[in-house]
Amino acid sequence: MKLKRSGRMVDLTTYLLHHPQQLIPLTFFVERYGSAKSSISEDLAIIKENFEWQGIGTIVTIPGAAGGVKYIPSMSKKEATTIIHELITLLEDPSRILPGGYLYVTDIIGNPRLVNQVGALFASVFAGKKIDVVMTIATKGIPLAYSVASLLNVPVVIVRSNSRVTEGSTVSINYVSGSTKRIQTMALARRSIQKDANVLIIDDFMKAGGTIKGMISLLNEFQAHVAGIGVLVEAEDVSERLVDDYVSITRLAKVDEKEKRIEVETGNYFNQFEEEQK
């Protein structure tokens, strides 16, 4: 049965939202709805205008035989500010203080709504980059990585502290933890990343950056490239930062274990956000 235009618009919008960053031939929609190309083009123009008005992204049209349409997710500065302020309020709860200046964030990472919002924040600033894979290290960064990857329409690879027989042969390296200065090991299956792949690294917490520095070294073994680095929380009181080029959503400004007080501020997220808007 041929859909009325209202039904077609709803289905078309839903399809695009569920297939971000995927180039879809216009003929696919023509056959799906049994409508003329001109009608589909008019629908897409209306949806594009609505997406941009809501600040949830845009639709890009690529002409030619190999072309089509692609939904690129994004987020308005107003919405990003609201989400980050909510995260800051949650992170400043004194009961989160852990020994060594760390914060308990498991409940935040375990909240699907918050994780999806954080994923949208990262996807918004990295949407303009060529990314083939999202990488994270087990275990807390995994939900964040999958949330980002779903919006960028790319796979996730997980670095572990030891190899698993189910992953086949692996590449392992030793790295020095930036905060504890201890030598640790990380491993990744050889078939996880192709040569020259562009990799986005996502992590939940960064202190000195030793773990992320280790992941960068691991990527060098695969002859892959770092397309970007995103962290949910970065620690501010660090004598030596091992990673310079990264995007942080929040910054842990101060932790007073004695007074049970936490101060959290916005990270450098909006610096990158402004660059993407240019």
Interval 19-72: pLDDT, tens: 999 999 999 999 999 999 999 999 999 999 999 999 899 999 998 877 899 999
Cα-atom radius of gyration of the chain, to the nearest Å?
21
Secondary structure letter of residue 191 according to DSSP: G
pLDDT in tens, 124-154: 999 989 999 999 998 889 999 999 999 999 9
Mean pLDDT, range 12-20, rounded to an integer: 95
Better-scored residue on pLDDT, 92 or 99: 92
User: Could you tell me if 59 and 112 lie in one domain?
Assistant: no
User: Could you tell me if 179 and 266 lie in one domain?
Assistant: yes
Domain CATH for 115: 3.40.50.2020
pLDDT in tens, 166-193: 788 899 999 887 666 788 899 999 999 9
**Of 49, 73, 97, which marks where a domain is finished?**
73
pLDDT computed for residue 180 by the predictor: 66
Domain extent for 22: 5-73
Report residue 113 as tokens: 């709504």
**Of 42, 73, 104, which marks where a domain is finished?**
73
User: Could you tell me if 87 and 67 lie in one domain?
Assistant: no
User: Could you tell me if 147 and 217 lie in one domain?
Assistant: yes
Q: Taking a C-beta distance cutoff of 8 angstroms, is the pair 88, 264 a contact?
A: yes
Backbone CA torsion sign across 9, 14, 17, 21: negative
Is residue 114's pLDDT more than 70?
A: yes
- What's the one-letter identity of residue 182? R
pLDDT computed for residue 186 by the predictor: 93
User: Could you tell me if 51 and 12 lie in one domain?
Assistant: yes
User: Could you tell me if 214 and 191 lie in one domain?
Assistant: yes
User: Could you tell me if 192 and 236 lie in one domain?
Assistant: yes
User: How many structural domains is the chain composed of?
Assistant: 2
User: Could you tell me if 85 and 147 lie in one domain?
Assistant: yes
User: Could you tell me if 56 and 173 lie in one domain?
Assistant: no
**Of 73, 92, 107, which marks where a domain is finished?**
73
Better-scored residue on pLDDT, 226 or 1: 226
Domain CATH for 14: 1.10.10.10
Dihedral-angle region of residue 210 (phi above 0 means left; psi in -120 to 50 means alpha; beta otherwise): alpha
User: Could you tell me if 199 and 229 lie in one domain?
Assistant: yes
Return the axis-axis angle of helices 37-54 and 5-18, rounded to nearest 10°.
60
Give the separation between CA 233 and CA 220, rounded to whole angstroms: 25
Say whether the peptide bond before residue 170 is cis (omega within 30 degrees of 0).
Answer: no
User: Could you tell me if 65 and 82 lie in one domain?
Assistant: no
Residues 6+ away with beta carbon under 8 Å from 276: 124, 125, 127, 128
CA dist 152 to 84, 124, 147, Å?
Answer: 21, 9, 9
Better-scored residue on pLDDT, 160 or 275: 160
User: Could you tell me if 62 and 154 lie in one domain?
Assistant: no
Give the separation between CA 68 and CA 59, rounded to whole angstroms: 10
pLDDT in tens, 183-241: 889 999 999 999 999 999 999 999 889 999 999 999 999 999 999 999 999 988 777 78
